[in-house]
Chains A and B, each alone.
Chain A
Amino acid sequence: MKILVCMKVIYDGKDNAFPDYDLPLRINRFDEYALEEALVIKDKFPDTAIDVVTFGYSNSVGLLKKALERGADSLTLIESQEELTPVVCAKLVYSHFKDRGYDIIFTGAMAEDFMSSSFGPALAGFFSFPFAVAAVSCELVNDKRLLVRCELEDGIAVTYSIKLPCLVTMQSGGREIRYPTLTGKLNARGKEAFVVKLDQKKDKSLSYEYKRKKAVKGILIEGSLDERCEYLYNELHKRGLL
């Protein structure tokens, strides 16, 4: 079984300075679940090979060594300093990996920075693979099909049976993410990331603009701790809630 896992490294916007590119980086959470699903298949079928690919900043590699420690076999960075659209990223990933004969491709359900949920299905489109989105768990049946359980809107869970080769986007909720083992760490030591340099100029038909949203719509409660407690109590009391 040959599996490709797509993992994105994103800026951690917690300090609300996004998109200020001095922020720390972290792995997109949903992509940890994508890797986990591939590892679960490898647990059962040990001759499975898992390749991880990331498209983005050169300093992503350090973080993604963790994927090798957890059990992935190789890591490729397609280096680009520009933020391209998910469809363009997917096309570039496709053009590098189209001849590798993957049986399954896993991606996350969504990148937490731009929240597009479109890279995975677009990649399936380029490969012409059948696909499913927002999966919580998968099970390989006779090496030929994947049983995929997805959680969609309104608490609806759909189970699909998909013929390989196929692509699945993973969300959280199905599995626990494993930690690297000592052997995993040792195995990962000698492994280097393959780096592909890109000179893809930004698609000129698109331009992006960001504006800080005037996000605070309601009342920002100010004052000392006691004043704020008093204020909130009074407001909720007036509304008959307390």
Chain B
Amino acid sequence: MRQKFLEVLIVFNVEDGQLLHGNLNFYEIKNKFKNRVNLQLLFCGSNVSKYLDNSHLDFYGDVSVIEDDSLPWNNPYILAQNISSLGEKNFDVVILPHSITNCGAAAFLAAQFSMECFTAINDFYFDDETLVLEREVFGGFTERILCKLNCIITWLCSHSEPCNNLNGAKYNLIKKSPVECEDLCSVISVEKAQSFSRLSEANVLIAVGRGIGSLENIELAQELALLFDNSSIAASRPVCDNRWLPYKYQVGVTGKTVSPALYFSLGISGSSQHLSGMKNSRCIVSVNKDRYAAISSIADYIVEDDIFVFIPAFIHKVKEKKKILRSR
């Protein structure tokens, strides 16, 4: 039996000549589908031409470009409307790099195209006419989804650098967003949070999560931080939401991205939004009552214990050791 080629669309979002949400390697994607694919690329955004000129396109296939330099493209509704303007063509799979914006666009499109949508996919492969998707869910589990195509996914790929060479592609350039929906949802302002260099400069971060329990207990983390040179405290989002620490201390997808020599976490479960901001730390210690908290999947040292039992004992131990070292 002759096997059908799959129609796969990959969507890239470009803002002012820069890829917005990471890159996807389309050779890798072809391989994942065992080369049984017709790949189509779609670049949506502002100054896309500038991006394409700088990346040397080595792609033989359809490349569509929807370019409107007058729009900010941090807008899932506008992005989704523009992707859907490509028309009724039936795609078996649509792939976007994973991001908050792209998740929104993907799910909206799925509803409009009568497709399924799966987000934050860690890995996928194609086997026996079935797409097998893997993603992380609550409590450190992996969910495996077997799906019969006709779906949109957002992929947590790890490529941030350009990894495609697009020389020789045929473009189908659509200048100016074809969709007149800006009045329905327009961007009024885009602000970048003020940078707080303390977090990126520190060699050691003592990061507190909801497990720290209350404002008063932050002191314990500060006491631990004092034992390390060039250290600072940091926090997960709920800690900042509870006003136990200001937002400038927040690590994660909507906070700061850090990569200290030591990331010492106290009562942090390790949601994907938190991990994406600290997974490149050189050494990770996790103190958590639950040894299977998701952060254990990336931590180097796991202490399964109550913060309020382990940390006071550890502080005491370090002080003792320092005293011995000094007295030598």
Q: Which residues of A does B touch, CB under 8 Å?
A: 13-16, 18-19, 85-87, 90-91, 112-126, 128, 130-134, 147, 151-163, 166, 169, 171-173, 205-213, 215-221, 225-226, 228-230, 232-233, 235-237, 239, 241-242
- CB of B117 closer than 8 Å to a CB of A: yes
Within 8 A of A (CB), among B285-328: 285, 290-294, 296-305, 309-310, 313-314, 316-318, 321
User: Which residues on B sit within 8 Å (CB–CB) of A132?
Assistant: 76-77, 104, 185
- Asked whether A155 and B108 contact (CB < 8 A) given A210-B141, A221-B302, the answer is no
Residue of B nearest to A236 (CB): B262
- CB of B173 closer than 8 Å to a CB of A: no
Complex CA gap A239/B283 in Å reads 9
- Asked whether A86 and B117 contact (CB < 8 A) given A18-B141, A152-B74, A241-B204, the answer is yes
- CB of B198 closer than 8 Å to a CB of A: no
- Asked whether A133 and B76 contact (CB < 8 A) given A86-B107, A157-B191, A173-B240, the answer is yes
User: Which residues on B sit within 8 Å (CB–CB) of A114?
Assistant: 137-138, 143
Residue of B nearest to A157 (CB): B191
Complex CA gap A205/B302 in Å reads 40
B106–A118 touching, CB < 8 Å: yes
User: Which residues on B sit within 8 Å (CB–CB) of A131?
Assistant: 76-77, 104, 108, 185
B184–A130 touching, CB < 8 Å: yes
Name 14 A/B residue pairs within 8 A (Cβ), A-sorted.
Answer: A18-B139, A87-B110, A113-B137, A113-B138, A119-B107, A120-B107, A130-B184, A156-B190, A161-B186, A211-B144, A212-B141, A215-B292, A215-B294, A219-B300
A209–B181 touching, CB < 8 Å: no
The count of residues in chain B whose C-beta lies closer than 8 Å to any C-beta of chain A is: 96
A176: shortest Cβ distance to chain B, in Å?
Answer: 9
Interface secondary structure of B, over-half rule: mixed
User: Which residues on A sit within 8 Å (CB–CB) of B163?
Assistant: none
- CB of B101 closer than 8 Å to a CB of A: yes
User: Which residues on A sit within 8 Å (CB–CB) of B118?
Assistant: 85, 116, 118
B189–A233 touching, CB < 8 Å: no
Candidates B111, B138, B321; contact of A126 at CB < 8 Å: B111
A147: shortest Cβ distance to chain B, in Å?
Answer: 7
Candidates A119, A159, A166, A241; contact of B262 at CB < 8 Å: A241
User: Which residues on B sit within 8 Å (CB–CB) of A211?
Assistant: 141-142, 144
Residue of B nearest to A116 (CB): B119
Residue of B nearest to A169 (CB): B104
B237–A118 touching, CB < 8 Å: no
- Asked whether A225 and B309 contact (CB < 8 A) given A115-B138, A133-B100, A220-B291, the answer is yes
A221–B104 touching, CB < 8 Å: no
B105–A121 touching, CB < 8 Å: yes
Within 8 A of A (CB), among B127-156: 135-148
Q: Mark B66-82, 1 if CB is under 8 A from A, else 0.
A: 00000010111100100
User: Which residues on B sit within 8 Å (CB–CB) of A229?
Assistant: 310, 313-314, 316-317
Within 8 A of A (CB), among B86-107: 99-101, 103-107
User: Which residues on B sit within 8 Å (CB–CB) of A157?
Assistant: 190-193
Complex CA gap A131/B115 in Å reads 19
- Asked whether A118 and B110 contact (CB < 8 A) given A159-B188, A215-B292, the answer is yes
B301–A221 touching, CB < 8 Å: yes
B271–A154 touching, CB < 8 Å: no
Complex CA gap A18/B293 in Å reads 11
B108–A156 touching, CB < 8 Å: no
The 9 residue pairs across chains A and B that have the minimum distance between CB atoms: A125-B111, A155-B193, A118-B107, A121-B107, A215-B140, A229-B317, A130-B185, A133-B104, A13-B139
- CB of B255 closer than 8 Å to a CB of A: yes
Within 8 A of A (CB), among B247-283: 247, 253-257, 261-262, 271-272, 283
Complex CA gap A156/B100 in Å reads 11
Q: Mark B163-184, 1 if CB is under 8 A from A, else 0.
A: 0000000000000000001011
B148–A125 touching, CB < 8 Å: no
Residue of B nearest to A217 (CB): B297
Complex CA gap A185/B183 in Å reads 41
A121–B314 touching, CB < 8 Å: no
Residue of A nearest to B257 (CB): A154
B317–A218 touching, CB < 8 Å: no
B238: shortest Cβ distance to chain A, in Å?
Answer: 7
User: Which residues on B sit within 8 Å (CB–CB) of A147?
Assistant: 188
